[in-house]
Structure 1
Amino acid sequence: MGDRKLITRLFISLFGVVHFCNFYSLNVQLERLFLSDGLIPVKAYIEKLLLNDTVSSFDKLLSCTSIFVLFNSDLFITCCAMLGLLLSLMVIAGFHSRWCFLLIFPLYMSFANAGQELYSFQWDSLILESTFLALLLPCSGYFYRRFERGSDLLVNGLFLWLLFRLYIESGVAKLFWGPNSWSTLEAMSHYYETAPIPTSLGYWFHFLPEWWHELETGSTLIIEILIAGLIFAGKWPRRTAFVLLTGFQILIILTANYGIFNYTTLCLHLFLLKDRDLHSLARYIPKLKAWIGEKANLTPLKPKVWLYPIAVIIVSFSIIEFMMFAGGRGVHSTKLAKIQKYTGATRIASRYHLFGPIDPIRYEMVYECRYGDSSWVVMNLPYKIDELTDKAPFVAPHHPRVDFRMWFERYPASWGKEVSMPYKDLKVSPTVLSGYLERLSRQLLDSPVLAYRHFLPHEYMDSIPEEVRISYYHYNMLKDDSLPNQFWTRKPVGVVYIDPALDSASNRFQLKNPPPPLPPEEIALNNAIAAVQKNPTANNYLNLGVAFYNMRKYNECIQASIEVLRIDPNNHVAYNNICTAYNQLGDFQKAYQACQACLQLKSDYGRAKNNLNYAIRMLKSGK
Structure 2
Amino acid sequence: MAWFAAPEYRLARELFLRLLALVYGCGFLAAARQFRALLGSRGMLPIPRFLARVPFRRAPSLFHWHYSDRLYAAVARTGALLSAALLAGAANLLPLGAAMAAWALLWVLYLSIVNTGQTWYAFGWESLLLEAGALAVFLGNDRTAPPLLGTWLLRWLLFRVEFGAGLIKWRGDTCWRALTCLYHHHETQPMPGPLSWFFHHLPRPLHKVEAAANHVVQLVVPFGLFLPQPIASGAALLMIATQLWLIASGNFAWLNWLTVALALGVLDTGTLRRVLPVGPDPAYGPAYGSTYGPQPGWYQGLVAGYALLVLALSWRPLRNLLSAHQQMNRSWDRLHLVNSYGAFGTVSRVRYEIVLEGTRDVHGLDGWQEYEFPGKPGPVRRLPRQFAPYHLRLDWLMWFAAISPAHARPWFHPLLARLLVNDPDTLRLLRRNPFPDTPPALVRARLYHYRFTDGPELRATGAWWHRRHVRDRQPPVGLAELGRYAPPGAAGRPR
Question: Where on the TM-score scale, by shorter chain, does this alignment land: which range?
Answer: 0.7 to 0.9
Measured on the aligned residues, the alpha-carbon RMSD in Å equals 2.9
Stretch deviating more after TM superposition (21-30 or 239-248): 21-30
Determine if contact 2:61/2:112 at 8 Å carries over to the other structure.
yes
SS in 1 for 2:216: helix
Aligned to 1:358: 347
Correspondence 1:304 to 2:304 = no
Determine if contact 1:441/1:498 at 8 Å carries over to the other structure.
no
Aligned to 2:317: 321
Say if 1:290 and 1:247 are closer, same or farther in 2 by CA, change over 3 A.
closer
Aligned to 1:272: 266
Correspondence 1:254 to 2:248 = yes
Determine if contact 2:138/2:303 at 8 Å carries over to the other structure.
yes
Q: What is the 5 A alignment of 1:224-235?
A: 224-235=218-229
What TM-score, normalized to structure 2? 0.84
SS in 1 for 2:447: strand
State the alpha-carbon separation in 1 of the partners of residues 370 and 79 from structure 2.
Answer: 36
Once the two structures are TM-superposed, the CA of residue 374 in structure 1 deviates from its matched residue by 3.6
Instruction: Give the unaligned 5+ runs of structure 2.
Output: 92-97, 284-288, 483-495
State the alpha-carbon separation in 1 of the partners of residues 228 and 296 from structure 2.
Answer: 18
The one-letter code of the counterpart of 2:145 is: R
Aligned to 1:126: 128
State the alpha-carbon separation in 1 of the partners of residues 431 and 59 from structure 2.
Answer: 33
Determine if contact 2:111/2:335 at 8 Å carries over to the other structure.
no
SS in 2 for 1:469: strand
The one-letter code of the counterpart of 1:71 is: H
Say if 1:412 and 1:7 are closer, same or farther in 2 by CA, change over 3 A.
closer
State the alpha-carbon separation in 1 of the partners of residues 458 and 210 from structure 2.
Answer: 26
The one-letter code of the counterpart of 1:396 is: A
Say if 1:63 and 1:245 are closer, same or farther in 2 by CA, change over 3 A.
same
The one-letter code of the counterpart of 2:149 is: L
Determine if contact 1:477/1:487 at 8 Å carries over to the other structure.
yes
The one-letter code of the counterpart of 1:359 is: S
Provide Cα deviations, 1:241-288, integer angstroms capped at 9, x if missing partner. 122111111111111111111111111112322234334556xx6xx5
Provide Cα deviations, 1:579-606, integer angstroms capped at 9, x if missing partner. xxxxxxxxxxxxxxxxxxxxxxxxxxxx
Provide Cα deviations, 1:286-309, integer angstroms capped at 9, x if missing partner. xx5368688687x99999244334
Determine if contact 1:12/1:97 at 8 Å carries over to the other structure.
no
- Identify the structure with bigger relative contact order (alpha carbons < 8 Å, sequence gap 6+): 2
Correspondence 1:83 to 2:78 = yes
Say if 1:120 and 1:347 are closer, same or farther in 2 by CA, change over 3 A.
same
Provide Cα deviations, 1:484-530, integer angstroms capped at 9, x if missing partner. 52011122222122647679xxxxxxxxxxxxxxxxxxxxxxxxxxx
Once the two structures are TM-superposed, the CA of residue 463 in structure 1 deviates from its matched residue by 1.9
Q: What is the 5 A alignment of 1:207-246?
A: 207-246=201-240
SS in 2 for 1:363: strand
State the alpha-carbon separation in 2 of the partners of residues 301 and 249 from structure 1.
Answer: 36
State the alpha-carbon separation in 2 of the partners of residues 290 and 308 from structure 1.
Answer: 27
Provide Cα deviations, 1:20-76, integer angstroms capped at 9, x if missing partner. 2222222222333332233333223323x26xxxxxxxxx32432211122111111
Aligned to 2:489: none
Aligned to 1:487: 464
1:185 pairs, out of 169, 179, 184, with 179
Determine if contact 1:477/1:489 at 8 Å carries over to the other structure.
yes
Determine if contact 1:242/1:272 at 8 Å carries over to the other structure.
yes
**Is the helix fraction higher in 1 or 2?**
1
Aligned to 1:171: 166
Aligned to 2:374: 382
The one-letter code of the counterpart of 1:120 is: A
The one-letter code of the counterpart of 2:38 is: L
Larger-gyration structure (1/2): 1
Once the two structures are TM-superposed, the CA of residue 9 in structure 1 deviates from its matched residue by 2.8
Aligned to 1:444: 419
Correspondence 1:289 to 2:264 = no
Aligned to 1:534: none
Correspondence 1:43 to 2:48 = yes
Say if 1:236 and 1:5 are closer, same or farther in 2 by CA, change over 3 A.
closer
Once the two structures are TM-superposed, the CA of residue 193 in structure 1 deviates from its matched residue by 0.2
Determine if contact 2:370/2:434 at 8 Å carries over to the other structure.
no
Instruction: Give the unaligned 5+ runs of structure 1.
Output: 51-59, 332-339, 415-431, 504-623
Aligned to 2:486: none
Once the two structures are TM-superposed, the CA of residue 227 in structure 1 deviates from its matched residue by 1.1
SS in 1 for 2:467: strand
State the alpha-carbon separation in 2 of the partners of residues 86 and 448 from structure 1.
Answer: 28
Say if 1:100 and 1:305 are closer, same or farther in 2 by CA, change over 3 A.
closer
Stretch deviating more after TM superposition (201-210 or 374-383): 374-383
Once the two structures are TM-superposed, the CA of residue 441 in structure 1 deviates from its matched residue by 1.3
The one-letter code of the counterpart of 2:152 is: G
State the alpha-carbon separation in 2 of the partners of residues 324 and 291 from structure 1.
Answer: 39
Aligned to 1:346: 335
State the alpha-carbon separation in 2 of the partners of residues 281 and 450 from structure 1.
Answer: 46
Aligned to 1:70: 65
SS in 2 for 1:386: coil
State the alpha-carbon separation in 2 of the partners of residues 405 and 275 from structure 1.
Answer: 41
What TM-score, normalized to structure 1? 0.68
Say if 1:180 and 1:300 are closer, same or farther in 2 by CA, change over 3 A.
farther
Aligned to 1:7: 12
SS in 1 for 2:115: helix
The one-letter code of the counterpart of 2:317 is: E
Aligned to 1:162: 157
Q: What is the 5 A alignment of 1:384-533?
A: 384-410=376-402, 412-414=404-406, 433-479=408-454, 480-495=457-472, 496-497=474-475, 499=477
The one-letter code of the counterpart of 1:133 is: L
State the alpha-carbon separation in 2 of the partners of residues 23 and 451 from structure 1.
Answer: 18
SS in 1 for 2:445: strand
The one-letter code of the counterpart of 1:400 is: L
Provide Cα deviations, 1:147-198, integer angstroms capped at 9, x if missing partner. 1311x22111111000001111110000112x21100111111110011111
State the alpha-carbon separation in 2 of the partners of residues 245 and 17 from structure 1.
Answer: 20
State the alpha-carbon separation in 2 of the partners of residues 472 and 134 from structure 1.
Answer: 44
Provide Cα deviations, 1:391-445, integer angstroms capped at 9, x if missing partner. 111111111110122111135544xxxxxxxxxxxxxxxxx94323221112123
Q: How many residues align?
A: 455
Say if 1:459 and 1:257 are closer, same or farther in 2 by CA, change over 3 A.
closer
